Each structure stands twice: as C-alpha cells, then as structure tokens.
Structure 1
Amino acid sequence: MRRFMRNGDYSLNTPSQFGNSDWPVMEESLSNCSLVTEAGSDYEELLPQPERDGSYASEREGSSLYRVAFNFVNVVVGAGIVGLPYVFKEAGFCMAIGLMTLLCWLTDYSVRMLVSTGYSVGVHNYEDLMHKAFGKPGYLTVCSLILVFDFGAILSYLIILGDSSSLVVKDALGYTEECASVTCEQIERICISVASVVLILPLCLSRDISNLESASFVSIFTVVVIILMVMANLFTKLSGDGEQLPEITVTGPGVFQACGIISFSFVCHDSAFLLYQTLGSKARYDSAFLLYQTLGSKARYDSASLLYQTLGSKASRRWTTVTHISLSAALGICLCFSISGYLTFGRATQPNVLNNYDSNPIIVAMRVLYCITMALTYPTGFFVCRHIINALLYNGQPSIQDMSQRRYLMLTAPLFLTSVGIALIGLELDFVMALSGAGAGALAFILPPLCRLRLCQVTKQEQIAAIMMASFGTVMMLACILQAFEKQYGFSFGFAGF
C-alpha cells in the first residue's frame, strides 16, 4: 500500500492548480502552516446534497471510524507485546508506567502533527513529506530509518520464533541438558533455519502482500489469547497460598533501553497516512467518480483536493478522535499485559515473557500458535524492507510487481539470508528491540517536529513544543543505542544504572 500511494497512482502527490488551500486543517493547534488557507466553497454544488448535509455520510463515517480505530490498535498491539513485561524489570515498576504513558502521549501528538503537516502541504506519505522538507537527504533519512525499524521487527520475529519453537521441540523430545548431545542454542538455530526455509521463504517469494491478509486475524487472535493467559496466571498466583508479589521499585538500571522497547511497540508513524486515508474512504471514492464525470479528465489531478475539502474539519476531528481512542486503548492493553507479566515473575522476567512459563499442554499450544503467527507476520515487514531497498537503490522503478525476475530475486535473496543469518548469531531479543526502537523513536519524535518547523509557520508555543520533542527524541535515541550495546557487549559508556 505504501508503494501504491507513493508512486502517485492517483496523482495525489501533484500539487493542485488551485494551490494548497484545498487540503483540510487537522485541528486548530496543529494547523498554522504557511501553505494552508481557508478552504473555499466554489465546488460545493458539484457534490450530491446527501453528502453535504450528512444524511447518509454519517453512517459510513461512523463505521469507518471504528474500523480505523481497530486497525490502529492492531498496529500498536502486535507481536512486540511479549517484550513489554521486561520493561518493568529494566526501568523499574513506577518508571515503566510513567515511560509508557509519556511515550504514548508523545506518539499521539506526533502522529497528529505528522499527518497534519503532510496534508497541509499536499503530501500523503512520510517519505514524500521528508523529501519536500529536506530534499533528497530527508528522503534517504526517513527511508533508512523505516528500513532499520522494519528490519529490526523481522529479526525480532525470528528470534521469538526460535525461542518458542525450541521450547516446544525440547518438550516434545523430553530434552534435558545433562544427557543431550546438542545445546539449547543449537536447537534454536535449527528451528529458525527449518521454519525460515519451509514456512517463511515461500511467503516472501510472493509479490502480492494481499495474500497475507488472513495473517492479521491470526495475529489478533493470538495476542488476545496471550493477554488473557498472562492475566489468568497472575490471578492464579495471587489466589495461591504463600505467594508474594515482587517488590515495587521506583526505577531500574535500564531506563533508556526500556524507552527503545516501548517505542518499538508504540510507534506507528509509517502507517499513519494510510490509516488517515481510510477515514471515510468510501465517501471519498463515491464523490471522486461524480467529480470525474463532471469535470472531465482534469479531475484526475484536482478532485483529490476537492474531496478532502468536502471532509473539512469533520475529517480532522474524526482523525483526532481515532488517534486518542486507539492509543489510549493500546496503552491500557499494554499496561494490563505488562504489569500482569511482571508481577507474575518479578526480577526473573525474560525479554520474551512466554519463556518464563512452565510447560503444560495449554502453554505448549500457545507457543505453537505464536510460532505460526511469527512466521506469518515476518513477510509483512519483509515486504516493506524490500520495497525500501528498491526505492533506495533504483528509485522504486520498476515496482516490485513489475520488475524482472532476476532483479526480484537479487533483492529478495540477500535480504532474506541476511535476516536469517543475523538471527542465527544469537542476539538477545531485548537488544534487537531496543535498537529497532531507537530508529522508531527517530521516526516518531525527531522527524515530525523538524518537518513542522521547516514547512509551517507555527506559534511560539508550538515551536517550543516541537524543539522539546525533537531534543527528547535525539537524547532517547542516542542513549538507547549506547545502553543496548553496553549491556549486550559489555562496553562502558557510563549508562550503567540508568
């Protein structure tokens, strides 16, 4: 979908001859861009009366809002949720709650800032917004960060798959370290290799990501079951005799690394424009057909701005509502899950909380289902990485769908082998999630305010807020990277205890 929109199949990236005044203002506090003026009403009569007075548009808008909110939550509450209980061990109980709340609030603000800035200047995806603001260096920067984020995601999927599948294999074979001829690490590597070749590679060889739509339903079901299982185990522990909760700590030794892991879970800026575009999409496409018939061939380039003008402030209010509801719901789900996981295992909590549970038929079945989910989720991130590499190396021309088989394999094979090879090295899950989260933090907290300051006339209050957010994102990204390497490889950067 990102490729489809960015390559301009709808010519949405071409500025309208009427100027940029046709793009909707997201909300008053995020709408003072120099290129935004009051939208006119010269074309109101071109639209059918029911669309203008809202007699049937409201029903479609309402259902669309719920669908977008559901998709938004699904983007945030994904596979990375199994690493969130570990945040409480690293950052401390109270600090972890504060960090998750703060980063969720900042994500809410920066997502709305990003989309508002983009549509106010006639840009409809993150890559083109950075290109408009900073030229080719900006485009290369955001593409590289998206690549880091998604490549880290597929690495984490492989690591989680190896962890969970190796435990299933050891339970099935009655494995014990005392009488085994292979180590636990070797079993993990075998599981990753077999699953990658048998399950993942055939899916990655496909050129059409729509074939993976069913994977999202499997992922949602799995995440729901895991959340219920973790909470049920906590209640079981609390009802037992002599069971005590772990000590409630204020802070911990890995605050900055915890920020990266949280960012890995919450950041969704690479999907923000697509989520916004789905708001009221049916109404927009119905009106597009009418405008095309009325205005003729020129409507292909100008109808987009007119259509967004008809949405006006209603679309911006709905987007704000969707963002608030979705991220608040995601925060509540993540807090319930992570607090339950941490209170169950305390300081023994592992980067993948599923590894903490003793083996029983329910846990084994859960691990098998989660392995399948990881195998089905990996190709989604892989498709994004492959698309970004094609854009960086060949300017995205031809597209993945249209390129020759030779170039297609030249892009697919090295990327796949590199990801599997790195996963086989034995990197810790928290290290990978922290580094990927550092890139996600740059996408969320550094680039959106910089674009805002570059492209828009902002108030003094907005300017201060943007500078503070960019400064916070920069410090968090650098400190997260240094602390992750310090913990993984024993380097000394002076971040021990933070």
Structure 2
Amino acid sequence: MKSSQQNEDHFLVSSPSPPGSRRLSTDLVGEVTLPPPSTSSPPMEPSAPQPKRFVRFDVDDELVDSTAASLANRDNDERWTYDEDFLNSSDDDDFAHAVEGGTAPLLTNIAAPSVVVAGLDIDGFEDPASRSGMKMAFMNMANSIIGAGIIGQPYAFKQAGLATGVILLVVLTFLVDWTINLIVINSKLSGANSFQSTVSACFGKWGLISISLAQWAFAFGGMIAFCIIIGDTIPHVMAAIFPGLKDMSVLWLLTNRRAVIVLCVVGISYPLSLYRDIAKLAKASALALVSMLVIVVTVVTQGFFVAKELRGTLSGPLLTLNSGVFQAIGVISFAFVCHHNSLLIYGSLRKPTLDRFARVTHYSTGISMVACMGMAFAGFLTFGDKTMGNVLNNFPNSNLMVNIARL
C-alpha cells in the first residue's frame, strides 16, 4: 500500500527529472515525469494512434470556379497584361494597340529629380495622371525634332546637292531613330535613370563631364539660334503689318530687333521653361507642331507666286553632289537632334515599355522626315542657288502668308 501511494505521488507531483527520465505532456495533470526504463519493468502497451488534424478554411467555391475559368480563357498573356494594367487608359487605345512581341508594361523611375517631384501628389505618392499618353509623348518628341532647323533644310540641299541631300536626310533619320532607342536600352541595362547617369555608367567621370558640357553647349546654341530667328522675322512682320508703328512712342520697340528678342525670351520662353515636368509642355508642343505645319504649307504654296527675279538657277552640282556635304550633315543633324530629351519622354509615359517608346520614336522621326523633305524640296527647287539659311528670308516682306508663317 505504501509502495502504491509512493508511485501515485510520484505521478502526480512534478519533480526535477532525474537523468535518463522522459517527459510527457498531458491536458489533465500538466507535466508528467516517467522513471527511466529498466529491464525489470513490464513492457509498455502501444498507445492508440492519434488522429490526423487538418486546418480547413472557408473557401468560396464560386470564386474558385470563376478564377479557374478566367485563367483557362487567358490565351493571350500579352493582351491580358495590357488590359489588367492599372495605368492603362483609353486615350492610348485610339493611337496604338498592343503589337506582337511586345513586352509587358514596366514601371520605371527614369526621370529627372524635378520631374519626380512634380509627379507626386499631396501625400507623396506618384500620381499616374501626371504622366502622358502616347499622343502627348509623340507631340513632345516631334516638337523636339521639328524645330528651328526645319527652315534650314532647303539650304542643306543646296550645300549637298539635291540627290545627295535626299540620301543624307533618309540615312540620318534612320540613324537618329536607332540611337534614340539605343539610349533608353542602355539606360535600362546600366540601371541609370537619366541621360547623364547612363553616360556616367558607360564612360565614367570624364564621360559625365563631356556629356554635360555637350548638352549645355547644344542647348545654349539652340537658344541662340531661336533668338536669331525671332530677331530676323518678328520686326519685319510688325513693320509690314503696321507701317506707322516705328513712329509711335513705345510700340516702336516691336520693330526693334533687340527689344523683340528680349520680350520673347522674357515673356514666352522663360515662363515655359519653368515647368518641372516635360509632359506639361504637350499642349505647347502641339501648338509648335501646328506652327511648323503652317511654315511648310506656306513655303510649298507661296513658292509658285515668287517673282522670276527672286528665283535662282539649278546647275549640275546642285542637282547631284555639291561641295558642302559636311555643312549639310550639320544642318540636317541639328534639325533632328532630340537625344537629350529621350529619357525624359520615355519616363513621362504612363506605361513606359521599350515597344511603346519605339512606336513613339518611329512615328515622330517618320513624320519629321516627311516634313523636312517637303520643306527642302519646295524651298530649294524655288530659289536654287539663291537659297538662304532661313528660307523665309527669300520671300518678299509684302507676302502676307509668309509674314504669318514668320510669326
């Protein structure tokens, strides 16, 4: 009896485990300590097998069936990705659709720091509405290409010769199209988010310094070219429209070259340059494209009404190969340079992918080539060896439509 009581106490009271003992756990008495096995103790009976325990979730069978059906019907992964993208908008569908071999939309951080700041909403998150669609991106890139250089295309044909000028224009267009896309590809491969960072990753510190100086020089030179064009056109237009403007006390400044340049830079160019996001310039770019179209139409149509004494001659070298080929390359290249804006335009897309940006580039360069070709043919065939650097200066100041184009 005493031995039985001791064994009972041994099972009910938790005590330190002696060496070699085993510990079990139970839901009734807590921790139980068993004595170490001995050869004299009877063998223990095998315990009953524990039932397997499963965790069951409440699953909506209808939801599972609908999801499986949608996955089974998704035979075109590319189109499904295109449709399911939350940045997809209907304004892009009217302009371009998904093409075979296209990549899925990839979000990008390619943008200048100022562009990133401008694209943030009040909570600090990026606002997709601040980005532009393919139409607006096309406007920005086409405006970057078709600029002041278009009025110099007839002069480029004069320097290179008609046949050589056509070849140069086509070859340089394809070269520009290829290099613009190459910049974006290099930026993605190098993990850079700007034009300068891409060059720095490829060529190091001196490459960054070189490209920074080159970009500054190009932008500064382009600005000077625009100022020269403004000074050459606006005063003549104002004097032709308002003959008595020179005699007025204050308004005579509109006929002064220097005053007009200052007014246009301070009142138009400077305010537009304050935008942080290049996508905001889409409407201004559209207006600029319309202006370029007016210039091309004016040169094409008004060339038929030019007096005979203002027309030039077309000799042999002017029709085939002339001595100013390298000058022509410079003039045509200046008209097509937009590489410094390529990454900014790519980053402004709502769904920035290489295929979508390639379509924007192809449309922009193609239309720009057609516009430059029409301008060059019309101006050069009209004025021949008398073609000036600014073809609008070949027209008389009394031509109303030409004066409108100068504006």
TM-score range, shorter chain: 0.5 to 0.7
Which residue number corresponds to residue 220 of structure 1? 289
1:193-204 pair list within 5 angstroms: 193-202=258-267
Structure 2 CA distance for aligned equivalents of residues 59 and 204 of structure 1? 32
Which residue number corresponds to residue 346 of structure 1? 384
Structure 1 CA distance for aligned equivalents of residues 354 and 293 of structure 2? 30
- The 1:165–1:188 alpha-carbon spacing in structure 2 relative to 1, beyond 3 Å, is farther
1:242-261 pair list within 5 angstroms: 246-247=314-315, 249-261=319-331
- Give the superposition deviation at 1:124: 2.1
Native 8 Å contact 2:155 2:389 kept in 1: yes
- The 1:198–1:276 alpha-carbon spacing in structure 2 relative to 1, beyond 3 Å, is closer
- Give the superposition deviation at 1:80: 1.8
Matched, 1:53 2:81: yes
Native 8 Å contact 2:140 2:281 kept in 1: no
- Give the superposition deviation at 1:237: 6.5
Matched, 1:84 2:153: yes
1:272-421 pair list within 5 angstroms: 272-279=342-349, 281=350, 283=351, 315-358=353-396, 359-367=398-406, 369=407
Native 8 Å contact 1:233 1:344 kept in 2: no
Which residue number corresponds to residue 102 of structure 1? 171
Larger Rg: 2
- String of CA shifts for 1:362-382, please: whole Å, max 9, x gaps: 222332x2xxxxxxxxxxxxx
Q: 2:274 aligns with which of 194, 208, 212?
A: 208
Q: 2:226 aligns with which of 157, 171, 183?
A: 157
| Amino acid across the alignment from 2:82 | G
- Give the superposition deviation at 1:97: 0.8
Native 8 Å contact 2:306 2:395 kept in 1: no
- String of CA shifts for 1:167-205, please: whole Å, max 9, x gaps: 335546879xxxxxxxxxxx9998332023333225566
- String of CA shifts for 1:381-428, please: whole Å, max 9, x gaps: xxxxxxxxxxxxxxxxxxxxxxxxxxxxxxxxxxxxxxxxxxxxxxxx
Which residue number corresponds to residue 55 of structure 2? none
Task: Tell me which moved more, 71-80 or 91-100.
Answer: 71-80
Q: Which has the higher contact order (CA 8 A, sep 6+)?
A: 1
Native 8 Å contact 1:162 1:189 kept in 2: no
Q: 1:192 aligns with which of 240, 257, 264?
A: 257
SS of equivalent residue, structure 2 residue 256: helix
- The 1:140–1:191 alpha-carbon spacing in structure 2 relative to 1, beyond 3 Å, is farther
Structure 1 CA distance for aligned equivalents of residues 187 and 217 of structure 2? 22
Native 8 Å contact 1:163 1:188 kept in 2: no
- The 1:237–1:79 alpha-carbon spacing in structure 2 relative to 1, beyond 3 Å, is same
Alignment: residue pair count: 275
| Amino acid across the alignment from 1:317 | D
SS of equivalent residue, structure 2 residue 191: coil
Structure 2 CA distance for aligned equivalents of residues 357 and 93 of structure 1? 21
- Give the superposition deviation at 1:136: 2.1
Q: CA RMSD in A?
A: 3.4
| Amino acid across the alignment from 2:179 | S
SS of equivalent residue, structure 2 residue 168: helix
Structure 1 CA distance for aligned equivalents of residues 222 and 348 of structure 2? 24
- Residue ranges of structure 2 left out of the alignment (5+ in a row): 1-76, 96-132, 245-251
TM-score normalised to structure 1 length: 0.49
- Give the superposition deviation at 1:269: 0.6
- Give the superposition deviation at 1:98: 0.9
- Give the superposition deviation at 1:328: 1.6
- The 1:70–1:166 alpha-carbon spacing in structure 2 relative to 1, beyond 3 Å, is closer
Which residue number corresponds to residue 72 of structure 1? 141
- String of CA shifts for 1:117-167, please: whole Å, max 9, x gaps: 111121122101111122221111111111111111111111111111343
Structure 2 CA distance for aligned equivalents of residues 221 and 227 of structure 1? 10
| Amino acid across the alignment from 1:199 | C
- The 1:269–1:162 alpha-carbon spacing in structure 2 relative to 1, beyond 3 Å, is same
Structure 1 CA distance for aligned equivalents of residues 329 and 354 of structure 2? 30
- Give the superposition deviation at 1:51: 8.8
Which residue number corresponds to residue 123 of structure 1? 192
| Amino acid across the alignment from 1:269 | H
- Residue ranges of structure 1 left out of the alignment (5+ in a row): 1-48, 176-186, 285-314, 370-498
Which residue number corresponds to residue 10 of structure 2? none
Which residue number corresponds to residue 434 of structure 1? none
Structure 1 CA distance for aligned equivalents of residues 334 and 301 of structure 2? 26
Structure with greater helix percent: 1
Matched, 1:264 2:334: yes
Structure 2 CA distance for aligned equivalents of residues 316 and 122 of structure 1? 15
- String of CA shifts for 1:440-484, please: whole Å, max 9, x gaps: xxxxxxxxxxxxxxxxxxxxxxxxxxxxxxxxxxxxxxxxxxxxx
Native 8 Å contact 1:78 1:223 kept in 2: yes
Native 8 Å contact 2:166 2:373 kept in 1: yes
SS of equivalent residue, structure 1 residue 209: coil
- Give the superposition deviation at 1:337: 1.2
- String of CA shifts for 1:58-84, please: whole Å, max 9, x gaps: 665545334333332222112221111
- The 1:318–1:253 alpha-carbon spacing in structure 2 relative to 1, beyond 3 Å, is same
Native 8 Å contact 2:161 2:321 kept in 1: yes
SS of equivalent residue, structure 1 residue 253: coil
1:13-52 pair list within 5 angstroms: none
| Amino acid across the alignment from 1:155 | I
- String of CA shifts for 1:304-356, please: whole Å, max 9, x gaps: xxxxxxxxxxx222322332232122111110111111111111111001101
| Amino acid across the alignment from 1:348 | K
